[in-house]
């Protein structure tokens, strides 16, 4: 379950409702159930409270962190603190702008989502090794660095952290221009850049949620013209993908489909992703370059 800190929960509730989450007020916070995952939206109780301080420190509302199950909450918090994580609550620690709350086992409800598939944690390039080491030492996580990806003038450093019950993609910009550097600016430092929710049939979910007001990033038509055959789609698939803007990728184990939402609140950099896994274990690495090239081609076309 992810947690959002916001002075005004209303636009965040509207956003997550449009994706299919159902609100259940629980005192200070609103807990929104989505099936195998949930979202907690928490406004500050007082002007100087830790939630208010988080919002001030990051220049506005956003995703503060994730609740993760642990068999012994105190032991998990103590172990993370002993490894160098900052303790921010009885059962909560902070790693580079991301707060992790240890909690009991998650109880699934009815809803469209299978689980929280992953969160992306954005950090500065020179912090990356230190943050990966904290996850390993503090959480017993595994760490798999990925080769750098160059897209246009931007270099993306990344790796995959697997905790019990959560996957984190650790991402860092290699330059000062692209969208990741923009996230670090707007968020005034590192933090959770996006959260991905897994669905069984992404095309249907996008069609249904669009009617409910969900807004997704536009995918240029040239992306579909250039989709290589090895991705294993059918002509019917390509029609559905093009009609909904869903992206496709594949690795040696199978394929994935994904789409990104617009930011829930204008001017704030956090956003969400929907992902469908048909055996694929990746995060859509090929789509980063394919989308960049498709957008560049569209610009060239428009300039001619």
- Which residues sit at the interface with Fe ion, rule CB under 5 A? 196, 273, 283
- Shorter beta-carbon distance to Fe ion: residue 127 or 273: 273
- Shorter beta-carbon distance to Fe ion: residue 216 or 283: 283
Query: In the bound complex, what is the minimum distance in angstroms from residue 260's beta carbon to Fe ion?
Result: 8
- Shorter beta-carbon distance to Fe ion: residue 3 or 249: 249
- Shorter beta-carbon distance to Fe ion: residue 51 or 263: 263
Q: State how far the alpha carbon of 211 is from the alpha carbons of 191, 196, 204, 301, in Å.
A: 31, 20, 11, 31
Query: In the bound complex, what is the minimum distance in angstroms from residue 196's beta carbon to Fe ion?
Result: 4
- Shorter beta-carbon distance to Fe ion: residue 249 or 273: 273
Query: In the bound complex, what is the minimum distance in angstroms from residue 125's beta carbon to Fe ion?
Result: 19
Query: In the bound complex, what is the minimum distance in angstroms from residue 234's beta carbon to Fe ion?
Result: 25
Distance CA 36, CA 260 (A): 19
Distance CA 282, CA 197 (A): 14
Instruction: Give just the sign of the alpha carbon dihedral 277, 101, 107, 45.
Output: negative
Tell me the backbone φ, ψ of residue 165, rounded to 5 degrees: 85, 5
Element (H, E) at 248: strand 247-251
Distance CA 191, CA 34 (A): 23
Query: Residue 277: which of 143, 117, 165, 142 has the closest Cα?
Result: 117
Cβ-closest position to Fe ion? 196
Residues 6+ apart with CB under 8 A from 186: 59, 267, 268, 269
Distance CA 270, CA 176 (A): 19
Query: In the bound complex, what is the minimum distance in angstroms from residue 120's beta carbon to Fe ion?
Result: 5
Query: Residue 276: which of 252, 261, 291, 254 has the closest Cα?
Result: 254
- Shorter beta-carbon distance to Fe ion: residue 265 or 275: 275
DSSP state of 164: T
- Shorter beta-carbon distance to Fe ion: residue 6 or 196: 196
Question: Contact, 217 vs 245, CB < 8 A?
Answer: yes
Query: In the bound complex, what is the minimum distance in angstroms from residue 265's beta carbon to Fe ion?
Result: 19
Query: In the bound complex, what is the minimum distance in angstroms from residue 275's beta carbon to Fe ion?
Result: 7
Question: Contact, 33 vs 81, CB < 8 A?
Answer: no
Query: In the bound complex, what is the minimum distance in angstroms from residue 73's beta carbon to Fe ion?
Result: 28
- Shorter beta-carbon distance to Fe ion: residue 2 or 196: 196
């Amino acid at each position: 379950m992810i947690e959002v800190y916001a002075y005004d929960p209303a636009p965040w509730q509207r956003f997550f409702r449009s994706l299919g989450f159902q609100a259940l007020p629980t005192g200070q916070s609103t807990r929104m159930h989505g099936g195998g995952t949930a979202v907690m939206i928490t406004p500050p109780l007082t002007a100087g409270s830790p939630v208010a301080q988080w919002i001030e420190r990051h220049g506005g509302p956003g995703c503060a962190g994730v609740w993760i199950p642990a068999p012994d909450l105190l032991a998990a918090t103590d172990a993370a603190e002993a490894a160098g994580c900052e303790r921010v609550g009885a059962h909560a620690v902070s790693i580079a702008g991301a707060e992790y709350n240890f909690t009991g086992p998650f109880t699934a409800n009815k809803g469209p989502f299978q689980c929280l598939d992953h969160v992306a944690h954005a950090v500065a390039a020179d912090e990356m090794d230190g943050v990966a080491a904290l996850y390993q030492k503090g959480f017993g996580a595994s760490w798999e660095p990925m080769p750098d990806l160059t897209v246009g003038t931007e270099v993306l450093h990344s790796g995959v952290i697997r905790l019990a019950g959560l996957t984190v993609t650790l991402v860092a910009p290699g330059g000062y221009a692209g969208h990741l550097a923009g996230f670090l600016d707007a968020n005034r430092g590192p933090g959770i850049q996006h959260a991905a929710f897994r669905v069984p049939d992404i095309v249907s979910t996008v069609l249904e949620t669009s009617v409910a007001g969900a807004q997704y990033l536009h995918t240029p038509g040239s992306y579909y013209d250039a989709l290589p055959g090895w991705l294993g789609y059918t002509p019917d698939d390509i029609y559905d993908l093009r009609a909904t803007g869903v992206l496709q990728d594949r690795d040696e184990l199978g394929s994935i489909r994904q789409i990104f939402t617009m930011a829930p609140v204008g001017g704030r950099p956090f956003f969400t992703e929907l992902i469908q896994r048909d055996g694929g274990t990746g995060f859509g690495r090929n789509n980063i370059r394919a989308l960049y090239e498709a957008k560049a081609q569209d610009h060239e076309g428009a300039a001619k």
